[in-house]
Structure 1
Amino acid sequence: MAMDTRDTPLLQTEPIAIPQTKQQAKQAAKDIAFGSIAGVAGKFVEYPFDTVKVRLQSQPDHLPLRYTGPLDCFRQSLRRDGFFGLYRGISAPLFGAALETSSLFFSYRIAQDILQATLLPSTEPLPLTALIGCGAMSGAFTSLLLTPIELIKCKMQVPLEAHSSHPRPRPLTLIASIYRHHGLIGFWHGQMGTLIREMGGSAAWFGGYESVTAAFKSMRQQGQATMEDDASLPIYQQMFAGAIAGMSYNFLFYPADTIKSRMQTEEVGNLVGRERRTFLFVGRALWAQHGLKGMYRGCGITCLRSAPSSALIFSIYEGLKKAFP
């Protein structure tokens, strides 16, 4: 997927460098636009499942648990809030999905271009290990943009207690409350969990997609010797590769996301005047009380929703690239 615009000699003149810069800027704009569209479409598919996941992850430490599993959480949520209650707080995640997916594709391409320019000749493709590294760098960059959005999302998704007399807060109310109690840095509460999840998850996401795509292309080339390396795959193969990528992203680093959700669903004012609980502290407490099972609570439904969502994201992104070269 690396962009190859360096077919000119190494000693380039200024008139040649200008068109390259314009081409790179044009490609960056496409990455942002196509990634945003794909991310928003994928979010509509996955959001109800994500709401259930967050509610499962953020259950209180004491037993008995509020939900016995994903299906029970679905039933209780539908009974209490109705179907559209599963989409509560989607406005911030839609913006977040556009921002996340566009920044992932954009920074993934930039990382590839940097490695291509510094490590390998322009005509030699990057190996899979380098692409996995590019995915990790892309995830690290994206995590900084994503944490504040996920903080608001998680607080919106958690249901109110039955005895609560307070109205459900709106996103702007939550933003004002977080800033008032914790300042600007408060919006990055849970950043360590997002960083681990995004770095590892994005490496697995792009690595999974690239490896499955390469396997399909290799199979096609064995029976079609004239096939070009950059020829696009059939839609069902793109979607299968995207589905594998989505499940890899979520499963491998799911405990980091569980800890992050626990941190981000705390009441905003609970820790005023005291030191906020760290990623390591929350992780140790969760492990001591629920073990490995608690770390992976809600993982099944997360992987289930990530398969169609990720398949849709990659197929839309690749389709837009093909339609608007």
Structure 2
Amino acid sequence: MNFPHADFEKASCRDANVEKGLLVDLFDKIRDDRLNIHSIVFVKDGNKVFDAYAKGFGPGVAEETYSCSKSFTSIAIGILADRGQLALDDRVLPYFPEITAFLPAYEGMTIRHLLTMTTGHREWAYETLLTSKDPLKDCFQMPVIDEPGTQFFYDNVASYLLSAIVTKITGKILNDFLEEPLWNKLAIAKPRWKTVGPYSAGATGLSLDALSLAKFGHLLLNDGVWRGERIVSADYVRQATSFQVPTTEADGPRDRFGYGFQFWINDFGDFRLAGMYKQYVVVNREYKIVFAIQGYEERELLDLVTNYVLPACRKGWIYDNFTLRNYISRFQEESVGLLEKEKKNRTIW
């Protein structure tokens, strides 16, 4: 399997054994439904089948990945676990000796509970941390309703605490810590990652382009190995991207198929990174694909994977007269109007 440096090598649909007609149908679907997609990168067997960008976007044009950030936080924890600098069942409180006032339920909370979002929190309180004078202290005052480890609740505070633990161990904020083992190794220019108090946000705030997201997905597809070098252990990657806890009470119907260590489990197999406005990195081991997509959409975009990308891989190459490049060019041309509308309506830009 190929590994890119600056970019992936290109493969034709024929060489990738992908049915081109279904990819044409994918772009027709985007056009017909006027889906506001900024970037798509489709990689199979380590080769780029296609990439497509709205006007003004492209390789090197980073944008907010929102909750895709959580999965990068998870891999930082995995790297430290591999080095023996933490254990997943370590209790959280000993990492924060300065926290002397806390609710009793926090005494039994572990790093594993943070990773699986089974902290026992039932309150969406992350936004209050953004204006807090002492966000770390406030984390340990959040009510714990369920016994830690028993109930999933989507909890940005858990990811923030993971980021803080990385800093406590390494003396570096999360973004700086990842520079040597991840950003440099994957040839990703050091990104911007928002901070909350003295720590990288952890849960959100990481800005990357779709190509960089695809590289990260390819690392995970290959169980933590990049260009022959192990970045994070296969054991951790497999745990992180496998079903750990049920999520039957999650809001979205496609979010009810389980959660790993800061990764969502797909109803159609394997796993994904997911962020607000439908930022996705979908990884499928059966066909060795990574599908990274960024945009500004409320409508579900995973259907593009289940209805077009996976069937195209399943059917394989069939001769046709389509030129995919023409559809990609049309996609870029028709993005202008959607982007203008987005600028008028977007609350986070």
Instruction: Return the structure number with greater helix share.
Output: 1
- Whether these two folds match at TM > 0.5 is no
The two structures have a TM-score, normalised by structure 2, of 0.25
Instruction: Return the structure number with greater strand share.
Output: 2
Q: Which has the larger radius of gyration?
A: 1
The two structures have a TM-score, normalised by structure 1, of 0.27
